[in-house]
Amino acid sequence: MAKLWGGRFSKATDTLVDDFNSSIRFDARMYAQDILGSQAHAEMLGRQGIIPKADAELIVKTLGEIKADIENNKVEFLIDAEDIHMNVETILISRIGDVGKRLHTGRSRNDQVALDIRMYLREELDTISQMVKELRLVILEIAKKNLSTIMPGYTHLQKAQPITLAHHVMAYYEMFRRDGQRLSDCRKRLNVMPLGSGALAGTTYPLDREFVAEKLGFDGITQNSLDGVSDRDFVCELAFDLSQIMVHISRFSEELILWSSHEFSFVEMDDAYSTGSSIMPQKKNPDVAELARGKSGRVFGSLMGLLTMMKGLPLAYNKDMQEDKEQIFDAVDTVKMVLPVFGKMLSTMRVREDKMLTGAKGGFTNATDVADYLVKKGLPFRDAHAVVGRMVAYCIEKDTVIDALSMEEMKEFSELIAEDIYDEISLTTCVNQRKIIGGPAMETMRQVIEQYEKEEY
């Protein structure tokens, strides 16, 4: 097939080069954005009198028909037409001849591809924002049901202090809330219209860039044509935002995997979100959480791939940049696959309140509260710390817990201890006295949840 750019060439491209150079395998998915962008460009060319109005109208109409044909599987894309941009243009010219040849006036594939990728990713970003929001809602529901579900909180994966399941899952809510904010912020820089940048140096035609921007739903237009064609910051930024989402998913998954183990037994995944073993009949594996954790790697890989691809590029467009697509598409596809299934797994998971409570009772999670009790009775904190340290050592020796010591045994450690200690160091008191903003107390958590329920994004 003759190339659209074949004028100055005397030989056909080697078929190996055609295969190597072509991006149609992976950029065909941007066909709708390519066509919408071309329709807006053609309409603008007609309005500005750069091409005859009737030609613009025929181009817009025919592009619409091509879009419908693509959607009805009536179009075959060609490797040697290189990419989605030239495939669509070639089909257009094959249908309306010379009129179709006017479409590319005042435009380059360099600003065209920059436009298409922005439009494509904008849609994906919005979908992912919505998915992150839905995941936050699932978390909110679990939190509301578990305001008084006491569990051990950990540092160094050693039992530390009692918290509630609501408090624990709401920590993830915070992460996914920031993820939502990051995506909206990324959208601001992504949603800027590059057409008019031309190949690199703008164009001499009096294009109405604002008209095209408005028509295509952009918030503004790019201000430097070199940057307009070579900026892929928004692709890297989105890849980072997706990576950060996957970090959160992965950490959460790790906890759920641990919690599903026999040793913890804090939760049990629904049968519909677990898998069995081909050899061990007793097994029920948390594969969904494991795969979610595992898939984080490929998203981080995309981020690294994109940054590395960009780092040495001179201005302006370089063909290297065609490599942005597979990376970001894979990252987007992965996150879109993970978020809904992860949410479903969470919402169907059974919480074992009894096991969580038993877990919180062991490991001296109320030791800090015993020290705080002594502080309230007048002992300096450091001394109180030492007293409780000795009590813990004694309990380990006797294989018991602080709450189970008799008053007589307690008094051996400090004369300040009185009957009220039992109430003061009960797990419920420990949790509910942490009323400070950010703490696990039931009433505090309830307020936070109420506030987040009103939030829009």
By annotation, the residues acting in catalysis are 156, 277
319 binds ligand ARG (CB under 6 A): yes
Which parts of 321-340 interact with ligand ARG (CB under 6 A)? Answer: 321-322
Instruction: Say if residue 423 is exposed, middle or buried (CB neighbours under 10 Å; 0-12, 13-18, 19+).
Output: exposed
> How far is residue 272 from each of residues 113, 284, 344, measured CA to CA in Å?
42, 11, 10
Asked whether position 225 contacts ligand ARG by CB under 6 A, the answer is no
Q: Would you call 119 helix, strand, or coil by DSSP?
A: helix
Residue 181: exposed, middle, or buried by beta-carbon count in 10 A (0-12, 13-18, 19+)? middle
DSSP string, 244-311: HHHHHHHHHHHHHHHHHSTTT--EE--GGG-B--SS-TT--B-HHHHHHHHHHHHHHHHHHHHHHHHH
Minimum CB distance to ligand ARG smaller for 150 or for 192? 192
Tell the smallest beta-carbon distance from residue 203 to ligand ARG (Å). 15
Residue 455: closest CA among 133, 186, 138:
133
Q: Is residue 311 a contact residue for ligand ARG (CB under 6 A)?
A: no
Instruction: Give the interface segment with ligand ARG, choosing from 106-114, 153-161, 399-407, 436-444 (CB under 6 A).
Output: 106-114
- Helices and strands in the chain, H and E counts: 19, 6
C-alpha separations of 8 from 2, 60, 90 in Å: 12, 30, 18
What 3-state class would DSSP assign to 160? strand
Among 51, 59, 88, 113, binds ligand ARG (CB under 6 A): 113
Give me the phi and psi of 121, to 5 degrees please: -70, -30
Write phi, then psi, for 324 (nearest 5 degrees).
-65, -30
Number of residues near ligand ARG (by CB under 6 A) = 9
What is the three-class DSSP state of 5? coil
Closest contact distance (angstroms) between CB of 183 and ligand ARG is 24
The site map against ligand ARG for 250-289 (x = CB under 6 A) is ----------------------------------------
Q: Which of 23, 39, 260, 302 binds ligand ARG (CB under 6 A)?
A: 23
Write down the least CB distance from residue 101 to ligand ARG, Å: 18
CB of 200 to ligand ARG, least distance (A): 10
Cα–Cα distance measured from residue 129 to residue 144, given in angstroms and rounded to the nearest whole number:
23
Asked if residue 374 lies in contact with residue 417, where contact means CB atoms within 8 angstroms, the answer is yes
Of the candidate residues 104, 109, 159, 434, the single one contacting ligand ARG (CB under 6 A): 109
CB of 83 to ligand ARG, least distance (A): 4
Q: Is 38 in the site for ligand ARG (CB under 6 A)?
A: no
Long-range contacts of 94-98 (CB under 8 A, 24+ apart): 95/62, 95/65, 95/66, 96/58, 96/59, 96/62
- Asked whether the beta carbons of 298 and 330 are under 8 A apart, the reply is yes
User: Which of 110, 129, 243, 334 contacts ligand ARG by CB under 6 A?
Assistant: 110
- The residue among 83 and 372 lying less far from ligand ARG, judged by its C-beta, is 83
For residue 180, give the H/E element and its range. Answer: helix 165-190
Smallest distance, Å, CB 268 to ligand ARG? 47
To ligand ARG, the closest distance from the beta carbon of 247 in angstroms equals: 29
Stretch that binds ligand ARG, among 234-242, 317-325, 336-344, 427-435 (CB under 6 A): 317-325
Lay out the site mask for ligand ARG across 39-68 (x = CB under 6 A, - = otherwise).
Answer: ------------------------------
| Region near ligand ARG per CB under 6 A, out of 108-116, 260-268, 327-335, 392-400 | 108-116
Binding site for ligand ARG (CB under 6 A): 23, 27, 83, 109-110, 113, 319, 321-322
